[in-house]
Structure 1
Amino acid sequence: MLKHGLDPAERRAPERVDARDLALRRAGMEQFMQVAAPKLDQLFGLLGQSGCAVLLTDAEGVVLDQRCGEGDADIFQSWGLWQGADWSEAAEGTNGIGTCIAEDRRVIIHREEHFLARNTAMSCMDAPIYGADGKIVAALDVSSARSDQTEGFNRLIAATVSQTARQIEADNFRAAFPRARIVFADHDDSEVAMLLAVDADDIVIGATRGARKAFGLGASGPITAVPASDIFGREDGPRGFERAERAAVIRALARAGGNVSAAARALGIGRATLYRRMKRLGLGENIA
């Protein structure tokens, strides 16, 4: 790649971060890795016997964890399919991990489609994993060096990789909102995790990447507070007068962007009356 100054014929060893850098990266992703580990084990259980390695990287393409058979460990490690290896496009050119991250999509890079000649014996199937903030947090990779691996088999593996990536994303999202009610949003797009985190007052406080796109909640970063009933087009029945009143006030404030006067008008009451009700409901401290 001219952009990165790479020569496809170069035979240098794969680039690796040093031990301290790797330890810091793993520490920063510790909770995520704990969530992902069972799914990595499950994926390797399905594909390991066919000579595949399963890798998890961070958002920069550095391998944080891997699964491979004992008999294949030496060769995968020599190829850089191991903890600490840098598989960004800047380091390796076109490859499953780096291209998946750079293009923000799942990819299959089959043998000669790799940029560096030393990587053309591999087939790599990858999918991005998004964090609770909607940004790419990791990439999931399955790599194989079997000479008889067909493109049709690669597509089957890629579908499994994508499904596992969505499962990890969903599990990580639930872990990020342990006290919220997690709502599955039914949508036509079955390729993405569609989850919303809703607090006790029916306010959406989090959404997965797919849900953000589907409901116009912003691609990444903090989401604007919005009542769940607005998203789903319904009003939940009250469970006790005070609870219903509190939820109604919070929804009005959210719709008004925190403007008390506008919220009061929407509720059909005076501004002073709304302030009194907010105080009685313990909402005064939430005023922006």
Structure 2
Amino acid sequence: MLDKTGREYVRAKMPMIGVGTYQVSSEKDVYASIDAAFDAGYRFIDTAQDSGYNNEQLIGKVLKELLPKHNLTREDIFITTKLMVENQGNEKAEKSILESLKKLQTDYIDLLLIHFPGCNRNDPNDPRNPVARKESWEVLEKLYNEKKLRSIGVSNYEIVHLEELLGHAKVLPAVNQCEYHPYYYTKDLVKYCESKDIHFQAYSSFGSEVKKQALLTDPKVTALAKKYGTSVTNFLLAWALSQGISVLPRSRNPVHVKENLEALKIKITPEDIEAAKADNQTKFLWDPTKY
């Protein structure tokens, strides 16, 4: 299919809620999380090359057992992984993605994202950043054309990075995965992605590991969760889902993994979506605004 400018784009069948696996790095936890997820009905796993995940190989290993256990095939599930900062550029990008395929023990990846717009996160003015972004995207397009990647996209991209990408991309990015919750709601970026037919996906729906208690105990959020007769975590997931934004909750607790899926049944009104928003935005994780 082609977009209005003639660029090719793909819309793989991606579920609206997936299992996040950040910091789920032991084989026991990976197995328990995905086993509970499949049992509950999840069909979407999100991982990355980054050391904060360190679980591509474990996911590939446990899927060999869990897919037949749950009467599933590889085609029944959706896998996202991400090109880490240190692997941006021509040769490193392709080599690392092929390695991800081996670790995940699959012939294709459903969605491959560039994890961050900077190749050197310590120096936002590094002139290598835009070069690496372009080279990395060309590698993604090559592997997409070779059917090794079913769809391609980005993560943590601001409007300026998307504008740059759209200036040379032959394949439209399918997804932009970013931090998004009532404390950090990038209205302009979400609208921009929507206008360009780029699906906006949220990570850190509960805030960061260090500061998430502030979001989970926020009086406005807790009152609204009570209004909808649900937990604060499910309200936060439903808050994004009700905006057409997919989510990637992470938990090592199989009970919580199953509970998170209930958020799909909750519809938050536009008025309550606005009511949940904090007056001042607080970004918990990576800040890509200057890269």
TM-score range, shorter chain: under 0.3
Q: TM-score, normalised by structure 1?
A: 0.27
TM-score (structure 2 length as normaliser): 0.27
**Higher relative contact order by CA 8 Å / sep ≥ 6: 1 or 2?**
2
Higher strand share: 1
